[in-house]
Amino acid sequence: MQDGVAMIKPRWFRLLAFLFLAALASTAAAEAPFSFAATPGQLPKTVIPLHYTIRLQPDLEKFITHGSVTIEVQVLSPVNEIVLNALEMEVTKATFLGSDSAGKPVELGPRLDADKQTLTLPLPEKILPGKYRIALEFTGKLCERAQGLFRVKYATPAGKKIMLATQMEPTDARRMFPCWDEPVFRATYALTVVVPAQHLAVSNMPIERQAPAGDGLQEITFQRTPPMASYLVVLVSGELEELKGKVDGVQIRIITTEGKREQGRYALEVTKKVLAYYNQYFGIKYPLPKLDQIAVPGGFGGAMENWGGITYNERLLLYDPATSSQSTRQGIFSVVSHEMAHQWFGDLVTTAWWDNLWLNEGFASWMAAKTTDHFNPDWQVGLSAASVKSGIMNEDARSTTHPILKPVLNESQANDAFDHITYQKGQSFLRMLENYLGEDLFRKGIRQYISDHRYSNTTTADLWAALEKASGKPVNAISVGWTEQPGLPVVHVRTACVDAKQVLTLEQERFTVQDPNAQSLQWQIPIACMLIDHPKAISFTLLTDKVVSLPFHDCGKVIKINAGDAGYYRVAYEPRLFQALQQRINELPALDRLDLLNDVWAMVEAGRAAAPAYLDLTQSLRDEKVFAIWNQIISTLDIIAELERGQPGRAAFREYACSLLRPQLQRLGWDRKPNESSPDSLLRSRVITDLGNFGDQAVIAQARARYENFLLRPESLAADLRWPVLTMVGRYSDRKTYDQLHELARNAKGTEERQLYYHALAAALDPELGQLTLPISLTDETVPQEATRLVSEVAGVGEQPELAWDFAQQHMPELLEKVETFRRNGYVPSILGSFCDSARADELEVYVRAHVSEAALVKARETAAGIRLKAALKQRELPAIDQWIAARLANRSQSTAAK
């Protein structure tokens, strides 16, 4: 555990809890282990693919793809038709080749169903179980949206060029070639592509053969893959460069566009470290002969764990020491660790269906945090993970939450499954479970799980079975409530002195925010307890009932619950105990200080505490130096700043916020010190950004001066200061400065640089400049994904939601046309999310239903819940906040006058 907190053996009550749970384990409602027949999905399970032989020839002038595929299939029961997936393509020929090469080919009449995204092949007669082959010829699209095989236009010193890349997850392999595009249908793939002779082409496996194809083209065939899901197929082709390395016999490459190879050196070193670490941790070595990390200059915003060929938006992979920030450096380590974890959890062992997506994403998120912390303990990753956990707990308390295991019925729901509950709640629960079981037993279970299910599919039940077998503890009984129920608990804490011994009473209930009709639920909660005088001595109990009382040390000792902040629950202390904790908060380890701070603000959001209670607590932390704690305070100030927009108390709030943050800038200074810690570098950037946002004139003047020097000497502006300085300059820009930033954006050489300049444009507070930024979203000036995001950035960082929303409504069809399916449901909510008016929440839901789709309402309702919460806080808490700040400022004025 972090901060030197160690686990000790639990007390006698843990044994009782174990025996009680063991009795319940056999009757607890839980998901079933993996079964192919029982796995959800839309395709019939009467025919399964065994092997695909694919040939593709993209046309980079007409932006189409000519292709063919021969599929070897296993028929499991008699059928008179074969159904698979295909979308946005024309199938020009379909042939049934029979069960062997001697069979006579039979032409079929393919039927495409765009709504169901299927291709049906009626057979001339019913065929019996056995192995057969079908052959298809087709023509597909090469669009700019990151769906299937897509094209990316990017700038080079020689002008604009085009490369190809793929994005298949969750349901877009069917856009590149007809296939069984559900994760349970594992098969092998042999891919051949015809691409320009100057291209470097990359797929899952090494090249088997390569030869000229005439007319300036080349034909490349890749080796056959292991059995895998269709969403893991990758193809990248372009005028690319490579940086090579080797670890444990595996060839590693960082692949970039021209001139950026050296920016991949940091990622190469990260890959070497992480691959060796994962080989050891999982107990099974990476099974492919090569691992490529591929930087794509646009097209999509994240990264994709394609087996053997991971793709990244280049901002998440490339690091230039002269221009890239510490935040970028840390992000690269984390994202690379996440995607590489998928090579085992997701690729070697694959979730059976998208309702179990958290097995892939929650685990990879947890593993990334663990790995990043292992190699970079000075980055305080445990504190960052705790902040992430608290953020998702805030969402999980609302009426729009859902269980980690959520039914997925169609493609739209599969896209929606990639959310914070899947990633961050999954990660946080695994952290709590590992903390309870112990690192060694947890890893033993993970190794068993991967060994038992490699090259196969699983459900959550399979993971619980492996962990339960390894640990001897009732993992399934504990875990069901956390993965199959929505929400989270709050644990109420009371103490009493009985016969000179302190009796600790713990009582749980569901913790909710603006959800009065929430179902009453109960969890089995691993509770970590400590005495504030002995923070390294942590005891565990398992809260299985609604209420439990137990002896805990001598009377008068101050107790902290959720010691080490690994638990996924809120804590509400009786007033006397909370006051004792607040008075001694600076004696707590950093994780526990952060936990207390997060819990108090959560109580404010839930209406269980008043905002001044939180503000009082921050006063106790004015001398705090830990980044994660200040990050929590600043994030809360940002929420209050939203509520104060247009309100009479705004000026006083901004004055108070600046007075709170200025001492940190005075401590840190503007320039990095020798041997400065990474968290201090991040804190400097965050403090400067918010001081600028709150109108600190000295900070704004300093940012402008550094910007003027930057225009003359770009190297004069430190990498860590570029984001806060340029965003601030954009925020307060006039037309001349705006035009300068726009020119810098158009001439940017890389994705990180380009995104920064366009973000600075969107941050402009001047409505006339906002009106210049919004139309860029409709052009091809930058990549479509970044262009369409400008609308929500003008609404948010530019503080002009009305302007942005009016523009969006006028141009919604054009905007949605540029948004890939993966982001479509969340696009309109991203624009309206900056409002604090409950009427806008209603408007959001009505608009999405009428103009986007019924399927998009899930995301709309989630955002609407956030808007309504802000509206409630504004009405309920803002008067008390203004009163508290007025008193604080008056006291400060009196103190200054007295001096």
Beta carbons of 312 and 303 less than 8 angstroms apart: yes
Longest dimension (CA), the chain: 103
DSSP, res 716: G
Q: How far is CA 812 from the centre of its chain?
A: 26
Return d(Cα 505, Cα 862) in angstroms, integer. Answer: 35
| Burial class (CB within 10 angstroms; exposed 0-12, middle 13-18, buried 19+) of 498 | exposed
Q: Which of 169, 182, 305, 339 is catalytic?
A: 339
Return d(Cα 320, Cα 256) in angstroms, integer. Answer: 13
- Show Cβ contacts of residue 270 under 8 Å, excluding neighbours closer than 6 positions: 332, 333, 336, 337
- Show Cβ contacts of residue 3 under 8 Å, excluding neighbours closer than 6 positions: 382, 564, 589, 590, 591
Return d(Cα 639, Cα 598) in angstroms, integer. Answer: 14
Six token digits for residue 686: 């965050």
Q: Is 786 a catalytic residue?
A: no
Beta carbons of 293 and 202 less than 8 angstroms apart: no
Strand order in the sheet with 6-7: 6-7, 534-543, 525-531, 559-561
Beta carbons of 169 and 112 less than 8 angstroms apart: no
In the chain the first and final C-alpha atoms are separated, in Å, by 47
Six token digits for residue 497: 């002195």
Residue 300, classed as helix, strand or coil, is coil
Amino acid at 619: Q
| Rounded-to-5 percentages of helix, strand, coil across the chain | 45, 25, 30
Residue keyed to tokens 């033993």: 444
Helix orientation angle between 381-396 and 358-375, rounded to the nearest 10 degrees: 150
Beta carbons of 50 and 479 less than 8 angstroms apart: no
Could you give the C-alpha distances from 615 to 365, 619, 720, in angstroms and in order? 32, 7, 29
- Following DSSP, what letter does each residue of 176-210 receive, concatenated? TS-B--STT--BEEEEEEEEETT-EEEESS-EEEE
Amino acid at 562: N
Return d(Cα 239, Cα 250) in angstroms, integer. Answer: 24
Residue keyed to tokens 């042999």: 190
Helix orientation angle between 627-644 and 381-396, rounded to the nearest 10 degrees: 30
**Residue length, the chain?**
899
Return d(Cα 402, Cα 684) in angstroms, integer. Answer: 37
Return d(Cα 705, Cα 729) in angstroms, integer. Answer: 10
Residues with catalytic annotation? 339
